Amino acid sequence: MTPPHKPHQENQGSRRIGMGFGEFVVTIAIMTASVAMAIDSMLPALPNIGHSLGVTNTNDAQLIIGVFFLGFGVSQIFFGSLSDTFGRRNILLGGLACYIVGMFAAAATGSFEMLLVMRFVQGVGGAAVRITTMAMVRDCFGGREMARVMSYVMIVFMIVPIVAPSVGQLIILYANWHWIFILLGIIATILFVWAFLRLKESLPPEERLPLSVGSVVDGFKTVLTNRITCGYMIGLTMFTGVISAYVISVQQVFGEVYGLGDWLPIAFAATAGGIAVANFANGFFVRKFGMRRISHAALLIFTALSAAGFFYSLAGKPDFAIAYGIFTIVLMMFALIATNFTAISLEPMGNLAGTATAITGFVSTTAGAILGGLVGQMFNGTVQPLFGGFALFGAVTIAATLWAENGKLFTHPGDSPQLDPGAAHF
């Protein structure tokens, strides 16, 4: 029997963080989106930056994106334990400060090598922001309420791929590339002041964990031996691979295979809009149907449609309307899966949410980006590698989910919170 929704949980979470529900969601969403902005706004400026800083090999300009990802991915694994010991707010403010320094220093540099160093610093700061904001959500909300908050956060987050490249393009039309970093630094400074004045600590001192080698090892052991967390972390890794493969391949698929030309940005924006709509719907329906019902159904639909697209493409190039329709639907399913899988993976962790977020983020971001890159490298002038990769990632995720749920899907319709980090271990 599905337990009734607790209407007071939203108020309890708001009181814990010291701000209203809407203000909290908007604050977390904008902070998360600002990190994504540091990636997407760079894309149109890469040639200008490379030319300005004397980069002879045009491919080297891609390091401006790659080094940020490196700093973002590698450092996540440290901030979880730090935030579990010193509190979310302290690490968040420190991360924002690091991010701000990196932005303004990058704007002032005249060396490509120093720019890359500052991009790494920005990535480290962005990782601290990501880890602490997700841990704050877990501190304040559980179960379906957590999934609901994450859905609303993802709506704002998905606006960034639509808007950010245009912002970067607009800046380099009227000013030089340095102003992109200046703008991002100003935004981060405003967020720092806002968090300092408005955001309270979400992890009370009595719930914090001592920082020692033993406690860190124990925390990692708890996370990595929890079947639910690990199973869904594998799924998150696969679906990071999904979105990475799509972003890497989309220009070639829409531009070369289907010849969209100037319509490509609109087509890309529309699929991103579909992801935002799916997240909004998830936030509305997750209370009624639960995280597992929605995400497991979406996973089966995603895998079946991807496999159908792959086999259909073996007979020749699918019509654009058919291929685009499949892409749009599977990406909407991706949104439902990624949001709910994140919430489910953190649910058993309790006050280890920081460590759990760090480990799942480190694994899923690093391995998922590699898997997505491999699919992108397989581009052969058709949609076969992308649909085939999607289907394979979906199949692996089904297997991992079955393992996590003891061989059954839809097994927890009430999404009862499992707050004992030692439970469901293997």
Give the number of other CB atoms < 10 A from CB of residue 278: 27
Q: Which residue has the tokens 């303004």?
A: 104
pLDDT for res 251 = 64
User: Of 81-95, 170-184, 242-256, 274-288, which gets the smallest average pLDDT?
Assistant: 242-256
- 107 vs 41: CA distance, rounded Å: 14
User: Does one domain contain both 423 and 307?
Assistant: yes
* Domain count across the chain: 2
User: Does one domain contain both 304 and 172?
Assistant: no
User: Does one domain contain both 206 and 222?
Assistant: no
User: Does one domain contain both 137 and 232?
Assistant: no
For 34, half-sphere exposure in the C-beta direction (CA atoms, 13 angstrom radius) is 30
266-297 pLDDT, tens digit each:
777 788 788 888 888 888 888 788 889 999 99
- 197 vs 177: CA distance, rounded Å: 31
User: Does one domain contain both 90 and 70?
Assistant: yes
List the domain range (segments joined by +) for residue 343: 212-426
User: Does one domain contain both 285 and 168?
Assistant: no
Mean pLDDT of the chain: 83
User: Does one domain contain both 426 and 375?
Assistant: yes
Question: Over the Cα atoms of the chain, what is R_g?
Answer: 21
User: Does one domain contain both 203 and 310?
Assistant: no
> Domain boundary residue among 210, 235, 256?
210
- 299 vs 348: CA distance, rounded Å: 21
Report the amino acid identity of residue 319: D
Phi, psi of 42 (to 5 degrees): -80, -25
> Domain boundary residue among 172, 193, 210?
210
Write a three-state SS string for the chain: CCCCCCCCHHHHHHHHHCCCHHHHHHHHHHHHHHHHHHHHCCHHHHHHHHHHCCCCCHHHHHHHHHHHHHHHHHHHHHHHHHHHHHCHHHHHHHHHHHHHHHHHHHHHCCCHHHHHHHHHHHHHHHHHHHHHHHHHHHHHCCHHHHHHHHHHHHHHHHHHHHHHHHHHHHHHHHCCCHHHHHHHHHHHHHHHHHHHHHCCCCCCHHHCCCCCHHHHHHHHHHHHCEHHHHHHHHHHHHHHHHHHHHHHHHHHHHHHHCCCHHHHHHHHHHHHHHHHHHHHHHHHHHHHHCHHHHHHHHHHHHHHHHHHHHHHHHCCCCCHHHHHHHHHHHHHHHHHHHHHHHHHHHHHHHHHHHHHHHHHHHHHHHHHHHHHHHHHHCCCCCCHHHHHHHHHHHHHHHHHHHHHCCCCCCCCCCCCCCCCCCCCEC
User: Does one domain contain both 31 and 116?
Assistant: yes
User: Does one domain contain both 71 and 117?
Assistant: yes
User: Does one domain contain both 251 and 173?
Assistant: no
Q: Which residue has the tokens 């280890």?
A: 352
Whether residue 178 is predicted with pLDDT greater than 90 in this model: the reply is: yes
User: Of 36-40, 41-45, 197-201, which gets the smallest average pLDDT?
Assistant: 41-45
pLDDT for res 12 = 59
User: Does one domain contain both 87 and 205?
Assistant: yes
Phi, psi of 226 (to 5 degrees): -90, 120
- Average pLDDT of 330-354? 85
pLDDT for res 408 = 86
Whether residue 158 is predicted with pLDDT greater than 70 in this model: the reply is: no
Q: Return the percentage of the chain with pLDDT > 70, whole number.
A: 87
- 410 vs 300: CA distance, rounded Å: 12
- Average pLDDT of 95-118? 95
Q: In this structure, what CATH number is given to the domain that contains residue 279?
A: 1.20.1250.20
Whether residue 101 is predicted with pLDDT greater than 80 in this model: the reply is: yes
Q: What is the pTM of this model?
A: 0.70
> Domain boundary residue among 210, 225, 251?
210
Phi, psi of 5 (to 5 degrees): -70, 140
CA dihedral (352, 29, 165, 281) positive or negative: positive
